[in-house]
Amino acid sequence: MIRQESDTLQVNNTVPTRVLVIDDDADTTAMLRLILEPNAYDVNVSHSGPEGIKTAHLLNPEVIILDLSMSDMDSWQVCKEIRAFSQVPILVLSAISNPGMVAKALDEGADDFLLKPMTSSVLIAHMKRLVWRARAEKGANNHQQPGTGGLKAAPSPGSAVHRQTEPRARGKEIGAIHAKRPSTALKDIRVVLFRKMRGGSRKRPHN
């Protein structure tokens, strides 16, 4: 579950950030709404995978929170279906230590994952990073790079185009980690994701 803190980070946004939560557990979605709405997030909830895919298409959210284990549809299938029409950032939440399932979701296009329980401040920090990156990408895509002569520049790391191919390689890397070191796989997955966020740095995240 998610541990709510009294000093939850506040986000000063004029327009609330549209969030789609796809989770079949009512208690979890209620807690996420309680945490996110006071921090300028407009929370929309879908309680099944197929409903979440349909809502993502209609709502055009700025970020999606997806539960790793749902009864009706695997999270990796949800990611794959959403990636067919959108590059919206997807944050996967997992209550179980299953690196194989996490790797599969990342392989199909998820951008980040958090292992429950987590604090509200950690959740919001990850949300802010994903939203900031998506908005930066959108702004960059709206402006043609000067001096290119109309030619398309190679996609930069983290860009929407780059993220279409990056998750598959990232998922395979994580799958290899799980095969070699299953006992420490989740910790090693955090290191891989941290390096991707920091542009390849080998500095390890704090536990």
pLDDT, tens digit (0-9, with 9 covering 90-100), for 159-172: 444 454 454 445 55
- pTM: predicted TM-score of the whole model, two decimal places: 0.69
Q: What is the pLDDT of residues 76-130, one digit of tens each?
A: 999 999 999 999 999 999 888 788 888 999 999 999 999 988 999 999 999 999 9
Identify the CATH number of the domain defined by range 2-7+15-137.
Answer: 3.40.50.2300
- Where b means 16+ CB within 10 Å and e means fewer, 39-56 reads bebebbbbbbbeebbebb
Percent of the chain predicted with pLDDT > 70: 62
Mean pLDDT of 186-200: 52
Look at 160 and 48; give whichever has higher pLDDT.
48
Q: What does the alpha-carbon distance between residue 95 and residue 80 come to, in Å, rounded to a whole number?
A: 21
Q: What does the alpha-carbon distance between residue 60 and residue 143 come to, in Å, rounded to a whole number?
A: 21
Q: What is the pLDDT of residue 106?
A: 92
Residue 77 CB contacts under 8 Å (≥ 6 apart), including other chains: 49, 108
Tell me the pLDDT band of 18, cut-offs 50, 70 and 90.
very high
For all residues of the chain together, what is the average pLDDT? 77
Residue 31 has pLDDT above 70, yes or no: yes
CA distances in angstroms from 78 to 25, 40, 172, listed in the order given: 16, 26, 18
Q: What is the pLDDT of residue 143?
A: 64
Q: What does the alpha-carbon distance between residue 74 and residue 201 come to, in Å, rounded to a whole number?
A: 32
The full set of domain ranges for the chain reads 2-7+15-137
Mean pLDDT of 13-17: 79
Q: What does the alpha-carbon distance between residue 112 and residue 125 come to, in Å, rounded to a whole number?
A: 12
Q: What is the pLDDT of residue 54?
A: 97
Which range (26-30, 38-42, 175-179) has the least confidence? 175-179
Tell me the pLDDT band of 4, cut-offs 50, 70 and 90.
low
